[in-house]
Amino acid sequence: MERGGVTVRVLGIDPGLTRCGIGVVEGIVGRPLTLVDVNVLRTSASVPIAQRLVTIERGIDAWLDEYSPDAVAVERVFARSDSSTIMGTAQASGIALVAAARRGLPVATYTPSEVKAAVSGSGRADKAQVGAMVTRILRLDAPPKPADAADALALAVTHVWRGGARARIDAAVAAGRTP
């Protein structure tokens, strides 16, 4: 996302109750992007859900404090065949959205297909292809592990690349509505 030629920092979050991928990328559209940091916030299934959500919130808050992103990109929750994980994913997603909104940060959500298409050119890419493309885009020595980490970076990359266009469209629409 270009803002007057200034580098923009985006925090990508791949929400999950057991593994929540989190990664920061910075860059400008049309120039090589840079990995700032990546990790996975983990919680144990043996801990009550409320406490797991607090752990995720604290982890996201710590990343927001440490890296001061300009925007946050979160994977949009969708119904998949394994419905047993959808509730935890939705809860973790809500925590991510609230943490960013509490700080007044712009938040964008992207479907897995949108992210896959943005980084690989195909909305049907598999996890290995997404990891390989993230490795290439960010000029890394190896794909980030586990896949949740690579997915978080892919979300951040998607926002840098697509968020600039979205911001320009929103600005144009807003300018058109101004008397």
Active site residue 170: no
Count of other CB atoms within 10 angstroms of residue 162: 19
Active site residue 2: no
Asked whether the beta carbons of 27 and 33 are under 8 A apart, the reply is yes
Active-site residue, from 2, 14, 57, 151: 14
Angle subtended by helix axes 112-120 and 147-177, to nearest 10: 100
Active site residue 70: no
Cα dihedral 85, 126, 162, 6 sign: positive
Active-site residue, from 2, 70, 75, 151: 75
Distance in angstroms (rounded) separating the CA atoms of residues 157 and 16: 19
Q: Give the bridge partners for 34, in sequence order.
A: 26
What are the angstrom distances between the C-alpha of 115 and each of 12, 62, 74, 136, 150? 11, 25, 10, 15, 11
Asked whether the beta carbons of 76 and 54 are under 8 A apart, the reply is no
Active-site residue, from 2, 57, 70, 148: 148
Asked whether the beta carbons of 23 and 61 are under 8 A apart, the reply is no
Does 75 carry a binding-site annotation? yes
Binding-site positions: 14, 75, 148
Binding-site residue positions for Mg(2+): 14, 75, 148
What positions carry a catalytic annotation? 14, 75, 148
